Amino acid sequence: MVPELGHYCLILALVIAGVQIAVRHPYVRINAAYLGFTLVLASFTALAYSYAVSDFTVHNVASNSHSLKPLIYKITGTWGNHEGSMLLWALILSLFGVLLARHKDMPLFFKSTALAVQGSLSLGFLAFITFTSNPFERISLPPLDGAGLNPILQDIGLAMHPPLLYTGYVGFSAVFALAIAALIHGKMDRIWARCAKPYLLLAWTSLSAGIALGSWWAYYELGWGGWWFWDPVENASLMPWLMGTALLHSVLVLEKRETLQKWVALLAILTFSLSMLGTFLVRSGVLTSVHSFASDPLRGMVILALISVFTGGGLALYAARVHKIGTDAVRFTALSRETTMILNNLFMITACATVLIGTLYPLLMEALNLGSIAVGPPYFAATFIPLSMPALILMGAAPFIAWKRGNLDTLWPRLQPALVIALIGAGLILINSQQREITATLILFVALWLGASTLREWFLATDRLDFDRIFGLPLSHQGMTLSHLGMAVAVIGMVGSVVWVQEDIRVMRAGERADIGPYTITFKKLEKTTGENYIADTAHIDVSHFGASMPVASLTPERRYYPVAQQTTTEAAIRTSLMDDIYIAINPDEMSKDNQSWVVRTYIHPMIAFLWAGFMMIALGGVLSLMARRARDFVKGGETVIEGSNLL
C-alpha cells in the first residue's frame, strides 16, 4: 500500500510540474512549487519507509537492502542506489523550487518565470524517474531477504555524502533558473545578484562539504590512505565546484559593480550543466565502459537527452538574448579587484576545463575506436596544479586591492609582511627537507602566502584586532576570510600528506616491534571480536615516539568478515595529531604457516589533519556568508538594500 501511495504521489508530482510550466499565473506556479515539493517528499518518505521496514516486495528494497542492516543504514540505503538517489535528486530540486517560491525580494513576474524553468527541470527528472527508474516496482515473488549488504557502504560519512553532494549539484539549478529568467526578461543587475547569491552560497557550501566528506571516507575506509584519486567519479563533483566557485565570485562582482552580466549568465548555465553531467557520468554506467553503456543505454540516453535539452536550450537562449543583459559600461583599471576576479575566473575555468577534458577524453577515444588510454594522476598533476597556483597567489592579493582603481603605492606595504613570512617559511622548509623537493616547497610557499595575506587582511580589516571590530566585521567578510584561510590550510595538508608520506609494510607477530619514521609500533596481541553483523580479527598495536617507552596511542585495526554479505573489509585505525596521522591497516599473511603473523601496513601522513581542517573551514566560511544575509535581512527588516554586501 505504502509503495503504491509513493508511486501515486510521484506521478502526481509529475503532473503538477507540468502545471507549474503551463499555467502562466504566478500564484498558480508558486502553489504548484509547494504542492510539487509536498508530493515528492511524500513519495520519498514512502520509499524510505519501505526501506525502514524492509519491505522486500519492493524490487528496489529487495536488491539494495537487507533485514540485518542497522536501522540507520536501512534508511540511508534509500539513496544508496540508482532509483532512490534520483528520487533524492528530484526531492532537492523541488525543495529549491519552494525556496524560490518563498523568496521575498524578487519581482513577481520574474519569480514566475524562474519557477517555470524550475518546473521544467522537475518535469524532466520526474519523468526520467517515473519512466526509466521507478523505485516502487513490486516483485510478485519476494525474496526471503534482501541482496544488498555491502559493508563498505555502511558508513555514516558515506551515507551523508550524497545528500550534501546533491544539495550542491541541484542548488545550482536555482541559479540556472534565475539566469534563464534574466535572459528572457532581458535584465540582470545587482538585484539579480542578490537574489541568486543565497542559492549559490548554499549550493557551493554543500558541494564543498560533500566533496570533503567523500574524500575523508575514501581516506579512512578504502584502506590505503589516499584521499583523492582523480577518479572520474570524483572529477564529476570537482568540475561543478570549480565552476561554481568562479560563478560565486563573478556574482559578487555583479552585485558590487554591475558588470560581467554575460559571463555570469554563461557560467550559471554551464555550472548546472556540469552538475547534470556529473549525475550522468555516475548514473549512466558510461564510466565503467562505453560499451557496457551502449548495451543498456536507455537511462543514460535519457539523462543525456535531458542535459542536451537544458544545456542546449539554455545556450541557444543565451545566444539569442545575451545582448539584452550586458552593458559593458562599467569602467575599472587594470589594477583593481575586478581584474583579479576576472583573472581568477580564467584560471578556475581553465582548471575546470582541464578536468573535463581529462575525464571525457578516454571515453571519447573509446567511443571513436581510437584506442584506450587512461588519464591518471600524472596528467592532472601536470595540468591542474600549475593552473591553480596563480589562482591561489591572486587569491591572497585580491582582498587588498580596491574596486575600480587599485593603488600600487598603498598595496605594496600591505602585501609585504605576508610575502616575507611566506619566503622565510619556504626557506625553512627547503633547508629542512632532505630531498630538496622544489615543487613541494613552491606550493607550500604559495599556501603560506595565501594564509599569511588572508590573516593580514583580516588583521587590517579589524583595525589591528580591535575587539569591537572583530565582532563588528560583517559575517560575509568573516566568511571570506575563513574560506580563503581554509584553502591555504588545506593546500598545506595536501602537500604534506602527498610529498612526505611514509609507507611501511612488514610481517609482524604478537610481541614484535618496529621503528617507522618518528614512531615505534608494538604489535601487542590479536584477538577475535564480534560486531553487530560481523566477526573480526582485531590487532592491538601500541604507538610510541621513537625511543620513548610510553605509548602515545593504542590502535586497533581490524580485519572484518561479514558472513551474510560474505565480504571481508579492512578497517584501518588512525591516530590523528596536528603534525601527522599514523594510519595502520592489517591483512592476514598468506605465507604464514601458523596463521600467527600479519601483514602490517603503516602510513605516516604528515599534516593531513590540516587537509580536513582546511576543508571544514572552507565550508564553514560558506555557512558564515549565508548567515550574513539572514542577519542583515533581519536587521533591515527584509527591505531591499542596494549597497551590496561587504563580502569582498
Partner 1 sequence: MIRTLIVMICVIALSSAALAKTGPNEKLDDPALEKRARTLYHEVRCPVCDSQSVADSDAEISGAIRAHIRTRLLEGDSDERILFDLRESYGDDITMTPPVNDATLMLWVMPFLILLIGGISAFAFIQRAGKET
Chain residues binding partner 1 by CB under 8 A are 224, 226, 229-232, 259, 287-288, 328, 330-334, 338-339, 342-343, 345-347, 349-350, 353-354, 357-358, 361-362, 365, 370-379, 383, 387, 405, 505-507, 587, 589-591, 599, 601
For the bound state, the minimum distance from the C-beta of residue 405 to partner 1, rounded and expressed in Å, comes to: 7
Hey, what's the cell of 536? 573480526
For the bound state, the minimum distance from the C-beta of residue 290 to partner 1, rounded and expressed in Å, comes to: 13
Residue 343, amino acid: L
**For residues 67 and 333, which CB has a smaller minimum distance to partner 1 in the complex?**
333
For the bound state, the minimum distance from the C-beta of residue 332 to partner 1, rounded and expressed in Å, comes to: 5
For the bound state, the minimum distance from the C-beta of residue 544 to partner 1, rounded and expressed in Å, comes to: 22
**For residues 13 and 539, which CB has a smaller minimum distance to partner 1 in the complex?**
539
Angle between helices 156-185 and 232-257 (to 10 degrees): 40
**For residues 371 and 547, which CB has a smaller minimum distance to partner 1 in the complex?**
371
**For residues 78 and 383, which CB has a smaller minimum distance to partner 1 in the complex?**
383
For the bound state, the minimum distance from the C-beta of residue 403 to partner 1, rounded and expressed in Å, comes to: 12
**For residues 176 and 230, which CB has a smaller minimum distance to partner 1 in the complex?**
230
**For residues 226 and 644, which CB has a smaller minimum distance to partner 1 in the complex?**
226
| CB-based burial label for 182 (10 Å; 0-12, 13-18, 19+) | buried
CB 271 within 8 A of CB 176: yes
**For residues 289 and 577, which CB has a smaller minimum distance to partner 1 in the complex?**
289
For the bound state, the minimum distance from the C-beta of residue 217 to partner 1, rounded and expressed in Å, comes to: 16
Residue 70, amino acid: P
**For residues 55 and 581, which CB has a smaller minimum distance to partner 1 in the complex?**
581
**For residues 507 and 552, which CB has a smaller minimum distance to partner 1 in the complex?**
507
Interatomic CA distance for residues 92 and 80, integer angstroms: 16
HSE-CB at 173 with a 13 A cutoff on CA atoms is: 32
The helix or strand, by DSSP H or E, that contains position 244, with its residue range, turns out to be: helix 232-257
Q: Which of 43, 40, 50, 39 lies closest to 77, judged by CA?
A: 50
For the bound state, the minimum distance from the C-beta of residue 581 to partner 1, rounded and expressed in Å, comes to: 17
For the bound state, the minimum distance from the C-beta of residue 498 to partner 1, rounded and expressed in Å, comes to: 11
Residue located via cell numbers 596521522: 581
Q: What is the 3-state secondary structure (H, E, C) of 342-376?
A: HHHHHHHHHHHHHHHHHHHHHHHHHHCCCCCCCCC
For the bound state, the minimum distance from the C-beta of residue 511 to partner 1, rounded and expressed in Å, comes to: 17
Phi/psi of residue 555, nearest 5 degrees: -105, 145
Alpha helices in 436-569 (DSSP H): 438-461, 467-472, 475-499
Interatomic CA distance for residues 648 and 644, integer angstroms: 10
For the bound state, the minimum distance from the C-beta of residue 383 to partner 1, rounded and expressed in Å, comes to: 5
Q: How many CB atoms lie within 10 A of CB 590?
A: 6
Residue 426, amino acid: A
Interatomic CA distance for residues 435 and 636, integer angstroms: 58
**For residues 359 and 522, which CB has a smaller minimum distance to partner 1 in the complex?**
359
Q: Who's near 184: CB < 8 A, 6+ residues apart? A: 113, 317, 321
Hey, what's the cell of 218? 575514501
Hey, what's the cell of 462? 579589524
